[in-house]
């Protein structure tokens, strides 16, 4: 936990999906923002919003994403929308290929159902504790996005398989669990609706894609896609990636700007690319440690 870096940022999208605009930032991003490693727990979110973004937290148009940590409180807060969704950027590297995180469980389950041998049980316990320790170490980076959308599952270019759904306490809306269908890619995402504002979908990504975005996928990009294609995948992160990620096979800036929404069709591709470039720079400042890693 101590080695986790926490950030806080604020997105308002897709209705005006320019980071500069949505954050109401001057062209020069406050460097203190990127360098001071803001910890939501030690900062007043409201004052932060006002100081750094000049935004009123009460504004219903303001959605946020932040970085953060792994905690149950995090999850429940996400659901209620009472506090900013957090974006996790745990610095504990989670290299691809840590098998057994999930398989261990299923294996255990299978063993339990197949036999009840004592020897088996004790070895299972040992294995279990080991795995739990590993699991604790391997905290995946998490990033949450709050998106105003009628559709729960936003297209982000990757292919996902739903593996669970749970009712969330203090929320009328269930939380869905998705896993990237690409082999050996352990990225997961949770999708839920904000209890307070049902029009808002909270998407939380966990892990890093270890593969490129499927090219033939008819996805349209959102900020989530930006994250998926760039933030999530250190190896694939380049300056060119933002426009690439934003423009999907549809080649439409409109779809890139707002999944399930209309009114973005008149975006100028050129200025759009400039936007993306700017957004990349901005994100870089917001998530410096991650981008540093990625660019090395």
Partner DNA sequence: CGACTTTGACCTGCGC
Partner DNA sequence: GCGCAGGTCAAAGTCG
Among positions 132, 137, 199, 265, the unique one binding DNA when judged by CB under 7 A: 132
Q: Is 128 in the site for DNA (CB under 7 A)?
A: yes
Among positions 145, 177, 227, 242, the unique one binding DNA when judged by CB under 7 A: 177
Q: How far apart are CB 140 and DNA at their closest, in Å?
A: 9
**Chain residues 43-62 in contact with DNA, contact rule CB under 7 A:** none
Q: Is 188 in the site for DNA (CB under 7 A)?
A: yes
Q: Tell me whether residue 65 or residue 294 sits nearer to DNA (CB atom).
A: 65
**Chain residues 154-173 in contact with DNA, contact rule CB under 7 A:** 159-170
Contact 229, 213 (CB under 8 A): yes
Take residue 18 and report the two structure tokens written for it.
């320019």
Q: Is 76 in the site for DNA (CB under 7 A)?
A: yes
Q: How far apart are CB 17 and DNA at their closest, in Å?
A: 24
Q: What Å distances lie between residue 200 and 34, 81, 208, CA to CA? A: 27, 9, 24
Q: Is 72 in the site for DNA (CB under 7 A)?
A: yes
Contact 227, 204 (CB under 8 A): no
Burial class (CB in 10 A: 0-12, 13-18, 19+), 138: middle
Among positions 36, 60, 103, 268, the unique one binding DNA when judged by CB under 7 A: 103
Q: How far apart are CB 41 and DNA at their closest, in Å?
A: 14
Q: What is the bridge-based pairing of β-strands 63-66 and 174-180?
A: unpaired
Among positions 86, 190, 209, 276, the unique one binding DNA when judged by CB under 7 A: 190
Contact residues for 60 (Cβ-Cβ < 8 A; gap 6+): 197
Q: Tell me whether residue 1 or residue 59 sits nearer to DNA (CB atom).
A: 1
Among positions 46, 61, 82, 102, the unique one binding DNA when judged by CB under 7 A: 102
The residue count for binding DNA (CB under 7 A) is 37
The footprint of DNA (CB under 7 A) covers 72, 75-76, 79, 102-103, 105-110, 112, 128, 132, 135, 153, 159-170, 175-179, 181, 188, 190
């Amino acid at each position: 936990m101590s080695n986790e870096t926490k950030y806080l940022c604020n997105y308002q999208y897709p209705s005006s999906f320019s980071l500069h605009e949505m954050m109401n930032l001057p062209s020069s991003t406050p460097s203190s923002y990127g360098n001071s490693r803001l910890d939501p727990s030690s900062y007043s979110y409201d004052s932060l919003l006002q100081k750094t973004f000049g935004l009123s937290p009460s504004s219903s148009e303001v959605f946020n994403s932040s970085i953060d940590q792994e905690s149950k409180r995090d999850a429940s807060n996400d659901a209620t929308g009472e506090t900013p969704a957090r974006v996790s950027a745990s610095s504990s590297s989670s290299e691809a290929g840590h098998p057994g995180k999930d398989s261990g469980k299923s294996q255990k389950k299978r063993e339990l159902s197949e036999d009840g041998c004592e020897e088996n049980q004790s070895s299972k316990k040992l294995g279990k504790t080991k795995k739990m320790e590993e699991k604790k170490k391997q905290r995946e980076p998490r990033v949450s996005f709050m998106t105003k959308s009628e559709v729960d599952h936003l297209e982000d270019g990757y292919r996902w398989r739903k593996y669970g759904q749970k009712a969330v306490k203090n929320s009328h809306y269930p939380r869905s669990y998705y896993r990237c269908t690409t082999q050996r890619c352990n990225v997961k995402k949770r999708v839920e609706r904000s209890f307070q504002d049902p029009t808002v979908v909270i998407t939380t990504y966990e892990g890093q894609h270890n593969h490129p975005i499927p090219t033939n996928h008819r996805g349209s990009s959102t900020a989530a896609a930006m994250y998926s294609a760039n933030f999530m995948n250190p190896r694939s992160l380049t300056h060119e990636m933002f426009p690439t990620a934003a423009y999907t096979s549809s080649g439409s800036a409109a779809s890139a700007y707002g999944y399930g929404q209309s009114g973005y069709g008149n975006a100028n591709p050129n200025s759009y690319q400039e936007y993306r470039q700017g957004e990349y720079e901005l994100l870089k400042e917001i998530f410096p440690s991650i981008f540093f890693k990625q660019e090395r």
